[in-house]
Chains A and B, each alone.
Chain A
Amino acid sequence: MRKILILFAHPAFEKSRVNKCLIDGIEEIGGVTFRDLYEIYPEIDIDPDAERKLIEQHDVVLLQYPFFLFGMPALIKEWMDLVLVHGWAFGSRGTALKGKWFGSVMTTGGSRGAYQPGGFNRFTIRQLICPLEQVACLCRMHFLPPWVVHGTNAISREEILRQKERYHAMLARLADDATDLRRYGGLEYLNHYQTAGE
């Protein structure tokens, strides 16, 4: 079984609707370790050693967060700056992450159509998160396409529950050793993993 580390960051989780549902029961999925970073580091004083040890014990690292102003919450950036350091994550001697999988799970207020050239936000999600793609490359990790829940401002309760179900099913698939993750590399969004050719 692949071990999945989910690093969750939501600075106002108490107001969250979609993410609250998405993570409900997530720890019961086999292989998943869930870390609520704002709960663990309320004073933004990340413990890099502990974080690095955790990553070493996992095969897949997923960042889960609400997409604010086309970026991630500050704590995730802080986490990357302090944890993914030269000499460990990258550089000539930094091979700790080699061969692991790196992806993100995000919620956005805008619809998928808004994230298109000519759309309201002018760029696609993939364009906006290309720094993550490069981090994966730098650290010799495989990049997983993002899992995105669009249009969260007007989403219905039923739709949230449907999204949660699909998300958890996908996590179970990721954890399954029999799944060939390389197949998903070509997708724009991981949401469409079932359409990836066998």
Chain B
Amino acid sequence: MHDGGFFFQAFVYLTAAVISVPLAKKLGLGSVLGYLIAGIVIGPFVLGFIGEEGESVMAFAEFGIIMMLFLIGLELQPKMIWKLKAPILGMGGLQVIVTALLIMGIALLLGFEWNTGLAVGLVLALSSTAIVLQTLHEKGLMKTDGGQNAFSVLLFQDIAIIPILALLPLLGSGHAAGSHAGDGHHGGTTWIDGLPIWGQTAAVLGVVAGIVVAGRYLVNPAFRLIARTRLRELFTAAALLLVIAITILMGKVGLSPALGTFLAGVVLAQSEYRHELETNIDPFKGLLLGLFFIGVGASIDFEVIAADPVLIMLLVLGLITLKILVLIAVGRVFGMSYDNNLLFSFALAQGGEFAFVLFSFGLGNGVFEPSLVDPMIAVVAVTMALTPLLVLLNEKLIQPRFGTTEKAAPETAAAEEFSGERGKVIIAGFGRVGSTVGRFMQANDESATYLDLDADNVDLLRKMGLEVFYGDASRYDLLHAAGAADARLLIIAVDDPDKAVDIARTARKHFPHLEIIARTSGLADSHELIDMGVRHVYPETLDSALRIGVEALSLLGHRRYHAMRAMHTFRHHEERHMHELAELRHNRRELIRETKQRIEDLEELMLVEKRERHRDKELGWDASGHLSDEGHMRD
């Protein structure tokens, strides 16, 4: 059925995704379930489009998880991580240890050896980072207490994989210990295999320190050089290179690549290239994660299930129930509110993708028998596939019935913290105009997010302590990353008129709620923006020209206050004409005629004003009217 051509493969995967994901979303099931079902359908047991090679696709698709962790790291400032240390260590530690011990106890009761039981317990204690985070994210639950705590626990589990990998060979029957089996990720030859324990520890610490230092001092200058070339695809390539390099490096020292890229993400969270990195990596992450979920669906071994369906179902139910109970207890210990605790517990109640890796690793080390591993992998895959359904079940049935109906209000404070600093104002272009606007905003306690395309400029301004990001504000994804969905104002202060129009067009199309204030260079771009519905348009030279005019009049002996008032009149007409002429801008002849007419009108008006000393406006300050009135008022 599958002749294995790359394009045919890609065609099958993409078709499955494009058909099943929108369907699943339409049914309110979420994209994760859509991908999983697609995987089952094209997998070896239904249509059979993908078979053995599914495994290599899986290894490739796990790269999506690595990217996801990188993006999550980018969203988290180091100080946020520090704040989360209690849930990460406390909740994560408690959950893993208690779950592992309980499973071990059950295994002992069933007559297994204690070491096998402990190994199975440790492996099954882990949950699926990919499925949980994607599901919660899609439902907008990441920023709730439950979501954040789930994230903390997943983070701990990712760290826990390192000691578990070290522990598994020791739990083995001995004869196979030390001979690492090839398993895609952690096996193979690492650089540090031959080193003694202290040497391995030193190497691991060295690599971690290296990532931190490089992220701090090397990545920014490198990106600046790349940004200067103004080639977007080069930036994408560099971002991918960064993530891949870390993945390889972590693999070589036997650490989880997801953890490594997460760390790199956190280090780069303060970089001005944060938004740009996010926008470049995000589509790859999405595709690869989708591929990963399809892979999970396809890898559910229905033959194993069919061999003893009752046993498998009992194991699945048992594992989910056990995990939920442990998680609820952990949530209670840490004082989580009822609703959040339920969400937290239902979300994390599955086995994780690392179980696949660890089971095959343990198999190679003689910890597990093949007769144990096959059903276990099937159980894990089924629990993963059930996760979106469990979250849905909790949302639709359990929470409405048993949960307190607490509002999201107290959670919003945490939500704001989690998404980092995001102003009500986005300023696009931080040059001569934007920087003054920005300083003025800051002087008046209004924080703003700044975007600029000049890498040197961004660097300089960040050295001065301003929150400036590198990126092209005319791109939807970048505006989105800068917080356009929640912002109120977009100030377009770039000096390139075409770019300004592009930015305005993107913003009008995707963020119609954003009020736009635009700096323009002349009539043409002003008209184009007004035509687009931008109401606040400010030609960059008008105000300073008029101030020069006031000064000139004053030096020539005009009263300063009179000059100022004349300036107001002039500017008022100028701005009104700009808006009125915008309607005629497509008709060039008409435009020229109208403009001429209006200049004449204005000159006429100014002359009349001069001749009659602001007759209309300043009548109240002029006694001539009183004097000519024959009636009273003489005194």
Write the residues of chain A forming the contact surface with B, with a CB cutoff of 8 angstroms.
Answer: 43, 45, 48-49, 80-87, 91-93
Residues on A with C-beta less than 8 A from B626 are 86, 91
Residues on B with C-beta less than 8 A from A80 are 620
A43-B568, A45-B565, A45-B568 in contact; A91/B616 too (CB < 8 A)? Answer: no
Q: Is there a chain A Cβ closer than 8 Å to B612's Cβ? A: no
Shortest Cβ distance from residue A3 to the other chain B in the assembled complex, whole angstroms:
24
Residues on B with C-beta less than 8 A from A49 are 616
25 A–B pairs (Cβ distance < 8 Å), ordered by A: A43-B568, A45-B565, A45-B568, A45-B572, A48-B619, A80-B620, A81-B621, A82-B617, A82-B618, A82-B619, A82-B621, A84-B620, A85-B619, A85-B620, A86-B619, A86-B626, A86-B629, A87-B619, A87-B625, A87-B629, A91-B625, A91-B626, A91-B629, A92-B629, A93-B629
A43-B568, A81-B621 in contact; A48/B616 too (CB < 8 A)? Answer: yes
8 Å CB contact of B617 from A43, A48, A91, A92: A48
- Chain B, range 578-635, C-beta contacts under 8 Å to A: 616-621, 625-626, 629-631, 633
Residues on B with C-beta less than 8 A from A45 are 565, 568, 572
Residues on B with C-beta less than 8 A from A87 are 619, 625, 629
Shortest Cβ distance from residue A19 to the other chain B in the assembled complex, whole angstroms:
22
Residues on A with C-beta less than 8 A from B625 are 85-87, 91
Residues on B with C-beta less than 8 A from A93 are 629
Residues on B with C-beta less than 8 A from A43 are 568
A43-B568, A45-B568 in contact; A81/B620 too (CB < 8 A)? Answer: yes
Shortest Cβ distance from residue A1 to the other chain B in the assembled complex, whole angstroms:
31
Residues on A with C-beta less than 8 A from B616 are 48-49
Shortest Cβ distance from residue B633 to the other chain A in the assembled complex, whole angstroms:
7
Contact A92 B568 (CB under 8 A): no
Q: A12 to B175: give the CA distance in the assembly, Å.
A: 84
- The A/B interface has a contact count, at CB < 8 Å, of 40
Q: A161 to B625: give the CA distance in the assembly, Å.
A: 46
Residues on A with C-beta less than 8 A from B631 are 91-92
Q: A81 to B617: give the CA distance in the assembly, Å.
A: 10
Q: A82 to B615: give the CA distance in the assembly, Å.
A: 11
List the A residue with the shortest CB-CB distance to B627: A86
Shortest Cβ distance from residue A194 to the other chain B in the assembled complex, whole angstroms:
37
A86-B620, A92-B630 given; name 4 further pairs at CB < 8 Å: A82-B620, A86-B633, A87-B629, A91-B626
Residues on A with C-beta less than 8 A from B620 are 48, 80-86
Residues on B with C-beta less than 8 A from A86 are 619-620, 625-626, 629, 633
The 3 closest A-B pairs by CB, nearest first: A92-B631, A81-B620, A85-B619
Shortest Cβ distance from residue A107 to the other chain B in the assembled complex, whole angstroms:
27
List the B residue with the shortest CB-CB distance to A79: B620
Q: A45 to B572: give the CA distance in the assembly, Å.
A: 10
The 0/1 profile, CB within 8 Å of A marked 1, for residues 340-359 of chain B is 00000000000000000000
Residues on A with C-beta less than 8 A from B568 are 43, 45
List the B residue with the shortest CB-CB distance to A82: B620
Q: A48 to B630: give the CA distance in the assembly, Å.
A: 25
Residues on A with C-beta less than 8 A from B565 are 45
Shortest Cβ distance from residue B196 to the other chain A in the assembled complex, whole angstroms:
69
Shortest Cβ distance from residue B630 to the other chain A in the assembled complex, whole angstroms:
7
Shortest Cβ distance from residue B562 to the other chain A in the assembled complex, whole angstroms:
13
Residues on B with C-beta less than 8 A from A83 are 620
Q: A85 to B623: give the CA distance in the assembly, Å.
A: 10
Shortest Cβ distance from residue A153 to the other chain B in the assembled complex, whole angstroms:
26
Contact A91 B619 (CB under 8 A): no
- Chain B, range 545-590, C-beta contacts under 8 Å to A: 565, 568, 572
Q: Which one of A48, A49, A80, A91 has the greatest number of beta carbons of chain B within 10 Å?
A: A91
Q: A87 to B625: give the CA distance in the assembly, Å.
A: 7
List the A residue with the shortest CB-CB distance to B569: A45
Residues on B with C-beta less than 8 A from A84 are 620
Residues on B with C-beta less than 8 A from A82 are 617-621
Q: A43 to B561: give the CA distance in the assembly, Å.
A: 12
Q: A85 to B633: give the CA distance in the assembly, Å.
A: 13
Q: A91 to B633: give the CA distance in the assembly, Å.
A: 8
Q: A83 to B616: give the CA distance in the assembly, Å.
A: 10
Q: Which one of B616, B619, B620, B629 has the greatest number of beta carbons of chain A within 10 Å?
A: B620
Residues on A with C-beta less than 8 A from B619 are 48, 82, 85-87
List the B residue with the shortest CB-CB distance to A93: B629
List the B residue with the shortest CB-CB distance to A88: B619
Q: A43 to B543: give the CA distance in the assembly, Å.
A: 14
Shortest Cβ distance from residue A7 to the other chain B in the assembled complex, whole angstroms:
16
List the B residue with the shortest CB-CB distance to A81: B620
